[in-house]
A and B are shown apart, each in its own frame.
Chain A
Amino acid sequence: MLYRENGQFKTTYRDDLAVFPIRQDRVFIGALLAVAFLVVPSLASEYALRALLIPFLIYALAAIGLNLLVGYCGQISLGTGAFMAVGAYAAYNLVIRVPELNFLIVLVLAGLCAAAAGMLFGIPSLRIKGLYLAVATLAAQFFIDWMFARVKWFTDYSSSGSVSPAAIELFGLTIDTPQAKYLFVLAVVVVLTLAAKNLVRGHIGREWMAIRDMDVAAEVIGIRPVYAKLSAFAVSSFIVGVAGALWGFVHLGAWEPAAFNLNLSLRLLFMIIIGGMGSILGCFFGAAFMWFLPILLNQLPTALGIPISTATIAHLELMIVGALIVFFLIVEPHGLARLWSIGKEKLRLWPFPH
């Protein structure tokens, strides 16, 4: 009833290739974006923007980057946190060493640095895959963690090893209020999400998926594995690097090397498993789930008046996340995104199922 595409005919190739071929989807996305850009900044409290929405958006962006690699190209990575760190530290060094550079250019350059690092550590993927690649990316994680903690040049010789960049300036405006930060992050996320969505619909995304599904067959039909895999590593790390720069500059403000550790990498991997591998939408679901669940767990017992120590809550969170990972892998490997599309299918017939 609500969600039915009767009477919507595709009369041109353009229509057929649209990102959202169904009118209701277009209306829904348009309304969502309008709310996100216009209503949310004026209504949401400072806490909601700073502690809920901004980190959620950045997590979602990083998850999209990782999903391009794991969900679309089938190359597992446990080093996402390290590539976020490359983006964050590259942005930091660019800002303090070349202060006159526009921050958008800084973001792009930081992303490119992360892409270079990603390609470097992606080289083993040309010879190995699966479990072995997981270890290779773990090497990236540990090495890069160490590098930023120990090589003083990266942290501009700060004595504690932590860095605290100044507020972002963009076209003469200082982005320091939660509203401005939120809008800035939202804009970046929307642009990169759109880019990622179109990338995976196009030529290169299809190459990645072919490699993921069966690399030998992909090679036989003329896809160069070297090119496809390295491009997946590069694009994925670019997005992850931009997310890392945003995470450092906008969300954390000041950070120490441990901010981008293995735990972050694992969390991002869990986001795409829970949200849905090979789905851009799923990244948002997964990021929302992984970011809001601990907050909810922290608030709920207090709201209900049940006394639970914070340590227990932290352990409880580990247990819930761990159990859910196994649950989703067994029951619904395509994650929340798949549940969403099942819901949409049901809505086409509802409320007259015959």
Chain B
Amino acid sequence: MTSKNLPVTILLGLLAVGMFLPLAQAGTATGFWLEVLIGGLMAGVLYALVALGFVLIFKASGVFNFAQGAMVLFAALALARLAEWMPLWLAFVLAALIMVAFAWVVERLVLRKLVNQEGVTLLMATLGIAFFLDGFGQTIWGSDIYKIDLGISKEPLLALQSVFEGGILLNRDDILAAVIATLLVLALALFFQKTPTGRALRAVADDHQAAQSIGIPLSTIWVIVWSVAGFVALVAGMVWGGKLGVQFSLQEIALRALPVVILGGFTSVPGAIIGGLIIGVGEKMSEVFLAPILVKAFDLAGGGIENWFAYVLALVFLLVRPEGLFGEKHIDRV
């Protein structure tokens, strides 16, 4: 263990201890604790889905895509409204095509004109895209709350009844989310590792200029990467939307995926997933077990610490290890 990794180790250790602490406390049923843990893991899977979109775009084009949340909302809205007219699978295909068209437009109208600009300029441009997409999506698709019916009963599953008293309640859509996320990650991994396009994408991610000099067309690659991110956004929107209904707040939930990227590292796909799980579990655990203690100690008007837990964790991480858990070492230190 080098001394450089020490702060991170301590931090992760603290998180782990914090996670298991409620078990040591009298009065917390193991079953309930497990339920919270699983709930956190499920939320984490969904965060990871959104974070994947961030990482893909950042790796290939160096753009920190603030519009990922807006893309999730837009894709989910498109899917929900199209599904009112046609079967779900057809709506899904159409929505995916819409996201590809969106990627093409973004590359043509924004990215191509902003080549070689600083990261911060690109970040602000994606903020503009996010605003535009919000307005545009709600203008054409409407701004009510819509349902996506994935055909799953809302009846919770009871598991491990023999082990714990009362068993553990599991939501079927959470399980589906986990399955979908796993499939998506596997598909992406195959796409990146085994196909020529995937290889080209990785080449661009490694070194723009070298990739261009051996004949990889950058603009095509950007369209592909934004399309893939759009597809990931569509899947994330479908799963979130199926769980909570498609509404504007979807975008704010997606904003919480930002700290996930910080935690896992901007350039790492496994980092996005593990970061998502850490944040998901940390949020739920802190909300359920830490918030009541804080409320009692400081006389607060209710908990709600999950609103900032992820961000403050990311802030601490930035101070001790700016590149994240799995990110590349190269970072502009000041």
Contact = CB atoms under 8 A, between A and B. Distances in A.
Interface of A: 74, 76, 123-132, 134-136, 138-139, 142-143, 145-146, 149-153, 161, 215, 225, 262, 266, 269-270, 273, 311-312, 314-326, 329-330, 333
A317 B132 CA distance: 9
A316 B135 CA distance: 6
A134 to B, nearest CB: 6
A325 B128 contact: yes
B302 A319 contact: no
11 contacts: A124-B318, A127-B334, A128-B322, A131-B123, A132-B318, A138-B311, A143-B308, A273-B124, A315-B139, A318-B138, A329-B117
A128 B334 contact: yes
B304 to A, nearest CB: 6
A321 B300 contact: no
Given A269-B127, A329-B124, A152 B300 contact: yes
Interface residues of B, number: 52
Interface stretch (B32-40, B93-101, B107-115, B232-240): B107-115
Contacts of B332: 128-130
A57 to B, nearest CB: 24
A119 to B, nearest CB: 15
Given A319-B135, A325-B124, A134 B64 contact: yes
Contact of A131 (B120, B129, B131, B300): B120
Nearest to B295: A150
Given A130-B119, A135-B318, A322-B133, 4 more contacts: A130-B123, A131-B123, A150-B304, A273-B124
A329 B135 contact: no
Contacts of B331: 128, 132
A139 B315 contact: yes
A326 B318 contact: no
A126 B332 CA distance: 11
A270 B305 CA distance: 29
B164 interface: no
A273 B126 CA distance: 13
From B64, B119, B124, residue with most partner A Cβ within 10 Å: B124
A230 B2 CA distance: 31
Contacts of A146: 304-305, 307-308
B124 A149 contact: no
A131 B64 contact: yes
B125 interface: yes
From B132, B302, B303, residue with most partner A Cβ within 10 Å: B132
A333 B125 CA distance: 11
Contacts of A333: 121
A215 B318 CA distance: 19
Contacts of A135: 258-259, 262, 311, 314-315, 318
Given A76-B123, A150-B301, A127 B135 contact: no
Given A135-B314, A269-B127, A323 B301 contact: no
Contacts of A139: 259, 308, 311-312, 314-315
B135 A326 contact: no
Contacts of B134: 315, 318, 322
A145 B125 contact: no
Contacts of A266: 127, 131
Contacts of A262: 255
Interface string B277-302: 00000000000000000000011111
A319 B123 contact: no
Contact of A329 (B121, B298, B334): B121
Given A129-B332, A134-B64, A323 B132 contact: yes
Contacts of B132: 318-319, 321-323, 326
B301 A130 contact: no
A329 B125 contact: yes
B259 to A, nearest CB: 7
A322 B129 CA distance: 6
Contacts of B110: 326, 330
Contact of B125 (A124, A143, A312, A325): A325
Nearest to A318: B135
B136 interface: yes
Contacts of B154: none
Contacts of A152: 299-301
Contacts of B207: none
Contact of B143 (A315, A326, A329): A315
B301 A312 contact: no
Contacts of A127: 318-319, 322, 333-334
A273 B318 CA distance: 27
B309 to A, nearest CB: 9
A130 B302 contact: no
Given A316-B135, A322-B129, A225 B124 contact: no
A131 B334 contact: no
Contacts of B155: none
A210 to B, nearest CB: 13
B114 to A, nearest CB: 6
A151 to B, nearest CB: 6
Given A316-B139, A330-B113, A129 B131 contact: no
Contact of A326 (B128, B255, B298): B128
B299 A317 contact: no
Contacts of B123: 76, 130-131, 134
A134 B64 CA distance: 10
A319 B136 CA distance: 6
A81 to B, nearest CB: 14
B130 interface: yes
Contacts of B298: 151
Contacts of A150: 300-304
B130 A322 contact: yes
B143 A311 contact: yes
A147 B307 CA distance: 11
